[in-house]
Structure 1
Amino acid sequence: MIIPPQPWPTGDLDQIEPLVARVLAPNASPFTYTGTQTYLVGTSDLAVIDPGPAEDEHLTALTRAIGGRKVAAIMCTHTHRDHSPAAIPLAEVTGAPIVGCAPLVLESSAPRVDAPFDKTYAPDRVLEDGEAMTGSGWTLRAVATPGHTSNHLCFALEESGAMFTGDHVMGWATSVVVPPDGDMADYMASLALLYAREDRIYYPAHGPAVEKPRQLVRGMMGHRRARERQITKLLAEEARAIEALVPVMYKGVDERLWPAAGQSVLAHLIDMERKGEVSRSDDIWTIN
């Protein structure tokens, strides 16, 4: 999807349904679309979902949007640095606890194409799958959705049927799955879990709301299966390295996104290797 032309409503408070408003952070990029969307849930007291980057402009906008209202919780879907770093400074301003995903810092020598992990994240309460955070007139229930990261949570707003999907499901692009923490089998299982639900609408951290959630999720699962079939076909022709697969598989895609695509191809190959479908020798992959 092409990023829409500027200006974007960075810093504005946008009330999108009675219990939900959002504020767009000024961190647009090929990986974040127009930026991270921080959601404010509630009326008299609030949950702040994915506070975003710890940038002064964004923190000022969030403080203005909150106004004099109490913040009951600052909630994070996962700990990439475009999602959780503002949690601590916002907690210092509001006195609110940090609630949500478990802390996770990946130490790896491999080059990373997604946002690196937030080393500052320190939750006061970690939500397990099915646990809830409540406020005046709202209930947010955690839905564990590992895959993009192993600690990823979505939050279901029970009063309206909305689901806050973080980076697990986005309307503008498929989620990057970066090994070793990102796991394609987990990602597919988490998609199947969401597909079995009846959520009315998805609010992702990047890009537009998803108004036909099950249709999109079904398409995403089909897309990933098609990528796997594509890998099988290409390796059946000849053994290849990932660097040789990506230009063929992602022809027409912005080349700036090829490193991220390569990581998702690696995630597919690792999953296929576990199932005994492919083998590798050094950087060369072969069909079994």
Structure 2
Amino acid sequence: MNASESHASERVSARVRRVIAPNAGPFTHTGTCSYIIGSGEVAIVDPGPADPRHIAALLDAIRGERLRHILVTHTHRDHAPGARALKEATGAVIAGCAPYAPSPDIVVTGPGLDASHDTAYAPDAILAEGDRIDLGDSTVRVLETPGHTANHLCFELSEEKALFTGDHIMAWSTTVIAPPDGSMTDYMESIERLRRRDDEIYWPGHGDPVLEPQRYLRALTHHRRAREAAILQRLSDGDATIPAMVARIYESVDKRLHGAAAMTVFAHLEDLVARGVVESDGPPTLFARYARRAE
């Protein structure tokens, strides 16, 4: 299949089908994964970009069925815009995360990845922690998982102990956390919440499933703490700016990803400043100078 063509529907479990959008790239891997839950009466998780090829593939996959809910994990433009086209075609209810709301800190921190949000997203229903959607033999429950974005949700498929994780957890890459909308503090708290659950599989917004969630979460937590330790080491070695730290910490990483890496380093530093471990010469920003706080 040509990379520019939309992918056909693929059954990945008894209750779940997957259609991958034709938007592959450095930040989307093979493309956005849209998931169809149930049969007869169905929901679609993360309708993806408003690409006519992808919308046509989704509509073809549910031909003869009733689309009841379009569920959106967060409002980045590779996940949410397709909701409007699907609603227009089917009359389904758009439900999920709250619309994007700019952080008051944006005037200090700068926009981060906030421009990546679909500001036209208009849900018919905003879902919150514990909300439930019944789809015949499938039950969907809502978890609030801020961190990647302030409005990020995950969706549990109870009967399969499965979790649709959007961009919160992905097997192919660590999640980009970009202040002000993204928060490392919130992200790590959301990870700890997942560690207290017994999910058996994660279906992410990009890439293949996570088959051993608890093992992966332990590794992910270790990775984040190792990244924090690397930042503290760079500060101890005299690096005071984010560009200097990124150049050393991510020297083996594709330079096209260094902008995203800078955002993640910024998120770690923002968290470290809030915890009193690091200080900055003013509010934490991408352009501030940082130092370890004297003990």
TM-score (norm 2): 0.92
What's the CA shift for 1:36?
0.2
**CA distances 1:72-130 after superposition (whole Å, capped 9, x unpaired):** 10000000000000101100111100011111143757364587100111111111111
Over the residues paired in the alignment, what is the CA RMSD in angstroms?
1.7
Separation in 2, partners of 1:193, 1:18: 27
Aligned to 1:26: 22
Aligned to 1:200: 200
Unaligned runs of 5+ in 1: none
Separation in 2, partners of 1:266, 1:65: 41
Aligned to 1:62: 58
Aligned to 2:6: 10
Separation in 2, partners of 1:159, 1:9: 33
**CA distances 1:113-169 after superposition (whole Å, capped 9, x unpaired):** 587100111111111111111111111100111000011000000011111000000
SS at match of 2:19: strand
**CA distances 1:7-34 after superposition (whole Å, capped 9, x unpaired):** 5983210001110001010111100001
SS at match of 1:48: strand
Decide whether the 8 Å contact of 1:105 with 1:117 is kept in 2.
no
SS at match of 1:225: helix
SS at match of 1:260: helix
| 22-31 vs 99-108, which moves further | 99-108
Decide whether the 8 Å contact of 1:74 with 1:96 is kept in 2.
yes
Separation in 1, partners of 2:44, 2:218: 29
Change beyond 3 A, Cα 1:115–1:10: farther
Percent of counterpart pairs with the same letter? Answer: 44
Answer yes or no: is 1:167 the counterpart of 2:172. no
Aligned to 2:186: 186
Among 89, 93, 96, the residue aligned to 1:93: 89
What's the CA shift for 1:196?
1.1
Separation in 2, partners of 1:28, 1:105: 27
Separation in 1, partners of 2:238, 2:52: 52
- Matched to 1:68, the amino acid is G
Please identify runs of 4+ aligned residues in structure 1 that moved more than 6 A.
Answer: none
What's the CA shift for 1:245?
0.2
Decide whether the 8 Å contact of 2:112 with 2:181 is kept in 1.
no
SS at match of 1:22: strand
Separation in 2, partners of 1:252, 1:238: 21
SS at match of 1:12: coil
Separation in 2, partners of 1:94, 1:117: 24
- Matched to 2:117, the amino acid is F
Decide whether the 8 Å contact of 1:239 with 1:287 is kept in 2.
no
- Matched to 1:194, the amino acid is L
| 67-76 vs 105-114, which moves further | 105-114
Decide whether the 8 Å contact of 1:47 with 1:74 is kept in 2.
yes
Answer yes or no: is 1:145 the counterpart of 2:141. no
Decide whether the 8 Å contact of 2:279 with 2:290 is kept in 1.
yes
Decide whether the 8 Å contact of 2:167 with 2:204 is kept in 1.
yes
Aligned to 1:263: 263
Change beyond 3 A, Cα 1:226–1:86: same
Decide whether the 8 Å contact of 2:112 with 2:179 is kept in 1.
no
What's the CA shift for 1:251?
1.8
Separation in 2, partners of 1:55, 1:73: 19
How many residues align? The count is 284
Aligned to 2:290: 285
Separation in 1, partners of 2:213, 2:264: 22
SS at match of 1:17: coil
Aligned to 2:77: 81
Decide whether the 8 Å contact of 1:114 with 1:260 is kept in 2.
no
- Matched to 2:223, the amino acid is H
| 225-234 vs 104-113, which moves further | 104-113
Answer yes or no: is 1:50 the counterpart of 2:46. yes
**CA distances 1:13-71 after superposition (whole Å, capped 9, x unpaired):** 00011100010101111000010010000011100000000011111111111102101
Separation in 1, partners of 2:13, 2:115: 29
